[in-house]
Amino acid sequence: MNLSNLKPALGSTKTRKRIGRGTGSGRGGTSTRGHKGAGSRSGYSSKVGFEGGQMPLQRRVPKVGFKNINRIEYVAINLDVLQHLADSFKLDIIDVDVLSQHGLISKKDLVKVLGRGDLKSKLEVKVHAFSATAQKAIESLGGSVVKI
C-alpha cells in the first residue's frame, strides 16, 4: 500500500449529480426543476413555512397558553441544603451573598427557602421568601428569619 493506490472505502462516496448536461444524461431539459412556474426559474426562493398556498402548519395549529408578565420566579433552596452549607463551612448566617458564592444561585436571582429535609443548627437566614414549614423549622431551633 502506498499513496498512489489509496482510495475511499466502498460505498462511502457518491458521484455528484451533474444537472443540465444534455438529454442523454437523463437530467437535461428541465434539469430536475419540473415544468414552468416560479420554482423552475432562476432567482426563485420560497418563504419559510410556505406550503404552496395550503394553510401552513404554524397557522393550522392553535395557540396555547400565555406568559404571565406578573409572575415572580424564585430559586428554591431547601432546608437540607442550608444544613449542608452550615456543616461544611461552619456558617450561622446564610444570606444571598453566601448562596451565590457557593454557586447555588446567580446574583440577580430571588430565593425562596422550602421545607424539605431536616435542620439541626440554629441559623439566621436572610432571603426573599420562605414557605410556612421552612419558617417554622428555622424558628423552632431558635434561628431567625429575615425577608429581604
* Domain total of the chain: 1
8 A C-beta contact, residue 96 and residue 147: no
Tell me: the pLDDT tens digits for 8-65?
999 999 999 999 999 999 999 999 999 999 899 999 998 999 998 999 999 999 999 9
Q: Which domain does 114 fall in, by range?
A: 74-147
Tell me: the pLDDT tens digits for 86-143?
999 999 999 999 999 999 999 999 999 999 999 999 999 999 999 999 999 999 999 9
Is residue 111 situated within a structural domain? Answer: yes
pTM of the model as a whole:
0.60
Q: If we measure between CA atoms, which residue out of 49, 121, 129 comes closest to residue 80?
A: 121
Nearest-angstrom CA–CA distance, 32 and 42:
13
Is residue 45 situated within a structural domain? Answer: no
Is residue 61 situated within a structural domain? Answer: no
Is residue 1 situated within a structural domain? Answer: no
